Amino acid sequence: MINSGDVAFILVCTMLVFFMTPGLGLFYAGMVRRKNVLNTLMSVMFCCGLTTVMWFAFGYSLSFGPDMGGLGIVGDLSHAFFRGVSETEAGPYASTIPGVLFAVFQLVFCMVTPAIVVGSLSGRMKFSALFIFITVWLILVYYPMAHMVWAQGGLIAGLGAVDFAGGYVIEISSGISGLVACIILGSRKGYGIKSYHPHNIPLFVLGGGILWVGWFAFNGGSALGANGLAIHAVVTTMIASAAAMLSWMLIEMILYKKVTIMGAVTGSIVGLVSITPGAGFVPFGAALIIGGVVSPICFFFLTKVKQKFGYDDSLDAFGCHGISGIWGVIATGLFAQTAINPVAQWNGLFFGDTQLFTAQLLAMCIAVIYSGAMTAVIMLVLKKIMTIRVSTEAEALGLDISEHAEEGYAAFSGIDQ
């Protein structure tokens, strides 16, 4: 039966999660150089339009429609253009909200995911190539991942693995895809030789704050109702993000004797990512551990692993989202409790069972391999059929002017660093 309180709650959550995508745009834009700020914003914002039209036309059906072929990989087209998805009656995935509201709530999750990926490609990819890449990536990566993890008959769901709000579907898929795509695209000119400084740290902080607020709707709304599970997810989200922020600050204080606002905000974001898969499955104390541990892991990848291997993940989609997501799904296998959410068939490893932990590891491997392989195929094919990088001259001039004929700071006459 439709519950008006649940409907109101998910409507508000949908709007807040939608707002996360513009927030991500500001977050990313603050980290790039002045001459690429508008291109960065555009690379995120166009995802709002593209994903909406595709989701309505066929994306929702491929993600949550009846399984095609019995393989658990992708749905059929029976719900194309929201056919058979009711505005007044519940669907198969939520019993107290209309089917269309569930579909639109899932849309805003789909919206932010490719926007994360573009952070790895900032500063050197042609916008036309990026548009095609994201279009194909949604079809070949996001929709199948959503179906495998969340849909009835999904491959990963069938293993008994759990993902409360997007550890596999959003964080691992975007982070791994960003890593693979940036390696195939190649580094920015001068990467590893000259420094790339963020041009507007307050913009970065503003975007990070918007993401933090939206994440409560992201995780809390995944309970699909205004209930105790939603409250539990909000509390674990708050605890993990705060613990990760403090943990990152402690690392900076120990190593550099100073703390930075960029470090503190980055810590909060990796904490939010890490708790996403387990927000509705792990106890409050575990959230503190998950958030506290994720910062040193990500700090190591951002400062040591990235430098060692030399990949140009421009805005650290892999280091923040991919690595945090991997830790999050593993931690869910360690700390989940069926008493909190019976969707988990077994308790976590630290509560006496091994099955869930094993399922989480297997599902993680599937998500990493599938996302990485499909992204590689997409990028290599695009590289064969079109020019995907801007010219050296266009990169030096800046993508704002060379790709969009606009300037973010038209009155600025200094030297872009």
Share of the chain above pLDDT 70, in %: 98
Amino acid type, 304: K
pLDDT digits (tens, 9 = 90+) for 2-29: 999 999 999 999 999 999 999 999 999 9
Number of domains composing the chain: 1
Residue in this structure with the two tokens 């800046």, named with its chain if needed:
398
Task: Flag whether 408 is in a domain.
Answer: no
State the pLDDT at residue 241.
Answer: 98
pLDDT tens figures, 259-292: 999 999 999 999 999 999 999 999 999 999 999 9
Is residue 412 in some structural domain? no
What's the average model confidence in pLDDT over 135-139? 98
Sign of the CA dihedral with 53 first, then 38, 271, and 214 last: negative
What does the mean pLDDT of the chain come to? 96
| Structural domain of 213 | 4-401
Angle at 113 between CA 111 and CA 115, to 5 degrees: 80
Q: 284-300 and 323-335 helices cross at what angle (nearest 10)?
A: 150
Interatomic CA distance for residues 174 and 317, integer angstroms:
7
| pLDDT tens digits, 72-94 | 999 999 999 999 999 999 999 99
pLDDT digits (tens, 9 = 90+) for 344-355: 999 999 999 999
Q: Comparing 95-109, 191-205, 269-283, 322-336, which segment has the lowest mean pLDDT?
A: 191-205
Could you tell me the pTM of the whole model? 0.96
Length of the chain: 417
- Domain presence at residue 252: yes
Question: What is the reported pLDDT for 388?
Answer: 97
Task: Say which CATH number the domain at 239 has.
Answer: 1.10.3430.10
State the pLDDT at residue 410.
77
E-only strand ranges, 6-120? none
Distance of CA 411 to the CA centre of its chain: 35
CA distance 196 to 205: 18
Q: Say what the alpha-carbon torsion angle 276, 215, 48, 152 is, to the nearest 10 degrees.
A: 40
Q: Which residue is associated with the tokens 């769901």?
A: 157
CA 342 to chain CA mean position, Å: 25
Mean pLDDT computed over 194-219? 94
336 by DSSP, 3-state: which? Answer: coil
DSSP 202: H
The answer to the question of residue 197 being in a domain is yes
pLDDT band of 209, cuts 50, 70, 90 = very high
Within a domain: residue 347? yes
Q: What is the pLDDT of residue 310?
A: 93
Q: What is the pLDDT of residue 196?
A: 75
Taking each helix axis from N to C end, the angle separating 173-185 and 323-335, rounded to the nearest 10 degrees, works out to: 150
The answer to whether the CB of 178 falls within 8 A of the CB of 378 is no
CA gap 390, 393 in Å, rounded? 8
Q: How far apart are CA 383 and CA 387, in angstroms?
A: 6
Is 249 contained in some domain?
yes
Q: Which pLDDT score, from 0 to 100, does residue 377 have? A: 98
Query: pLDDT (tens digit, 9 = 90+) per residue, 375-415?
Result: 999 999 999 999 999 999 999 999 999 999 999 987 765 55
Which residues make Cβ contacts (< 8 Å) with residue 308, sequence separation at least 6? none
Please determine, for residue 369, whether its predicted confidence score (pLDDT) is greater than 80.
yes
Tell me the residue type at 84. Answer: G
Mean pLDDT within 81-109 = 97
Q: Are 376 and 133 in contact (CB under 8 A)?
A: no
Is 406 inside any structural domain? Answer: no
pLDDT level of residue 417 (50, 70, 90 thresholds)? low
Distances (CA, A) of 77 to 64, 67, 344, 371: 10, 10, 29, 22
Looking at residue 192, what is its pLDDT?
75
Domain annotation covers residue 283: yes
Among residues of the chain, what percentage have pLDDT more than 90? 95
Q: Is the dihedral of CA 328, 75, 151, 107 positive or negative?
A: positive
